[in-house]
Structure 1
Amino acid sequence: MPDGASGMAAPVLVREDRGAVATLTLNRPAARNGLSLALLDALSAALRDIATNSGLRCVVIQAEGPVFCAGHDLKEITAHFADADGGHAFFADSMARCAAVMQAIPAVPQPVIAAVQGMATAAGCQLAAACDMVLAAEEARFCTPGVEIGLFCSTPAVALSRAVPRKAAMEMLLTAEPIDAAEARRIGLVNRILPGASLRAEAAALAARIAGRSALAVQLGKRNFHRQAGLPLAEAYEVAAAAMVENLLAEDAAEGIGAFLGKRAPEWRHR
């Protein structure tokens, strides 16, 4: 979308680092924040940079306009049906880039919070489900409607089925019916429901609170949470026990325990 003042195209993703929190804002409101290749690439680049920035300790993903994200950009996809290969190369590349973003979110050391203000559809629902926490406005809706256009939401199903019970995921995938924020919270897709007017402020406050913890403890915890989640029980406890030992040997654990016993505020060194 052109910038009326400069004639330049507005960035598809806006990043703002404030203190220890990075905020990524999807900025294609006229296209319902569809995940074009340009937006996927911008998300990938931002997440790569954030992952290596030790000064950043939490991330918020939000969106401009009334829609959080409508999924893949269907106009961009449709344009490639006329390719010599019927669009095969483009579709494969698009799905690979999207999968890379969805895997980068749990892989970055910092916790990632989605602030969903409107409809999160298909890969937009996938984007929310991939995040560590989801805050939803009261008017937010979540939907995986691909089956209605003959395109089952197979890739959104990956993140969705890891965020909610399988039968709840299958109901969303097979019926294509949108669920409201209350139902999304009931099945575990959403952590908190907030008035739309305060969604961004509440997301920023939560991110700042998390960023105020020991970065070492939080990042070690996130990494090992995801590692153990898919393991059998005995292996999960092996991973978790090793993580606890690693954490106990860190300076911040000694500081935190000492501060607790001494009834004072801890002074984190993040190591």
Structure 2
Amino acid sequence: MTDTPQNGPVRTRREGHVLEVTLDRPKANAIDLATSRLMGEVFRAFRDDPDLRVAIVTGAGPKFFCPGWDLKAAAAGDAVDGDYGVGGFGGLQELPGLNKPVIAAVNGICCGGGLELALSCDIILAAEHATFALPEIRSGTVADAASIKLPKRIPYHIAMEMLLTGRWIDAQEAHRWGLVNRIHPADRLMEEARAMARHIASGPPLVMAAIKEIVRDAEDSKFQDALNRITKRQLPTVDRLYGSEDLKEGFRAFAEKRDPVWKGR
């Protein structure tokens, strides 16, 4: 297990194939330009490390996951259209080639850009007291990434209500609409997130990479076009998977009635 120093705005904890990323900017874990750039570097290193397979992102403290953009930093001169870093705002939503699963462990208030950060993850787990909102409209601005993503993730009319009114929803409602995968007691949230991360990390990494690239590529494609790119091995992760030792290992393990040993090659 490896931890980063505890006094930075972004802390990491590495255990086996799992990386934990904790946003730690008291009082509310808001993200300014410098923090966003740092998060981008952390997630780029995660993407490029062959020994890391799954990441968990959470917030420090019991109250806030992340409220999004740091308005105090903006008032002090941080430009809204400034340099967010390699991964865009929060380091995730525009990071190219991120073909590894990321779990959001939402430990409290999750709104604005913080909800956009969670939407950039593949799985969202929430503490029982977590709340969600897109309050940008009340500040005279637009939740840009959420306006694109949220209507594709939950029922259109619910997404539009959140965008147009800034209404808050609790974890139970978020779960009902499919925004949240599971709800856990606050004191068990990270334990459950780690258990899920370890379970996913035990699977075949080349398959996980292919799944993520297929889903991303197919998002705005016609079914047959997307399927053709898969069957013709036009996606790099799919081409690598179909020619891999792991693919043969999966077949052999099934035939021999044993657990496969994944090597990621």
State the TM-score, normalized to the length of structure 2: 0.88
Tell me which residue corresponds to 2:42: 46
> Considering only aligned residues, what root-mean-square deviation do their CA atoms show, in Å?
2.1
Tell me which residue corresponds to 2:248: 254
Q: What is the distance in 2 between the residues matched to 1:107 and 1:169?
A: 27
Alpha carbons 2:74, 2:80 under 8 Å: kept: yes
What amino acid maps onto 1:156 in structure 2?
A
Tell me which residue corresponds to 1:91: 80
Deviates more, 1:151-160 or 1:113-122: 151-160
**Partner residue of 1:61 out of 43, 47, 57:** 57
Tell me which residue corresponds to 2:206: 216
The DSSP-based 3-state class of the residue aligned with 2:110 is strand
How many residue pairs end up in the alignment?
254
Percent sequence identity is 33
| Cα distance, 1:100–1:25 mapped onto 2, change above 3 Å | closer
| Cα distance, 1:242–1:120 mapped onto 2, change above 3 Å | farther
| Cα distance, 1:147–1:10 mapped onto 2, change above 3 Å | same
Tell me which residue corresponds to 1:185: 175
| Cα distance, 1:78–1:135 mapped onto 2, change above 3 Å | same
The DSSP-based 3-state class of the residue aligned with 1:93 is coil
| Structure 1: tracts of 5 or more residues without a match | 1-7, 81-86
Deviates more, 1:41-50 or 1:179-188: 179-188
Q: What is the distance in 1 between the residues matched to 2:240 and 2:191?
A: 35
Alpha carbons 2:56, 2:197 under 8 Å: kept: yes
The DSSP-based 3-state class of the residue aligned with 1:238 is helix
State the TM-score, normalized to the length of structure 1: 0.86
**Partner residue of 2:19 out of 17, 22, 42:** 22
Alpha carbons 2:43, 2:91 under 8 Å: kept: no
Q: What is the distance in 2 between the residues matched to 1:44 and 1:240?
A: 29
Tell me which residue corresponds to 2:134: 144
Shift in Å at residue 235 of structure 1? 1.0
| Cα distance, 1:152–1:223 mapped onto 2, change above 3 Å | same
| Cα distance, 1:16–1:95 mapped onto 2, change above 3 Å | closer
Alpha carbons 1:227, 1:239 under 8 Å: kept: no
Alpha carbons 2:30, 2:67 under 8 Å: kept: yes
Shift in Å at residue 240 of structure 1? 3.4
Shift in Å at residue 179 of structure 1? 1.0
| Cα distance, 1:242–1:193 mapped onto 2, change above 3 Å | farther
The DSSP-based 3-state class of the residue aligned with 1:225 is helix
Shift in Å at residue 99 of structure 1? 7.5
Tell me which residue corresponds to 1:4: none
Shift in Å at residue 221 of structure 1? 1.6
Alpha carbons 1:29, 1:67 under 8 Å: kept: no
Tell me which residue corresponds to 2:184: 194
Whose helix proportion is higher, 1 or 2? 1
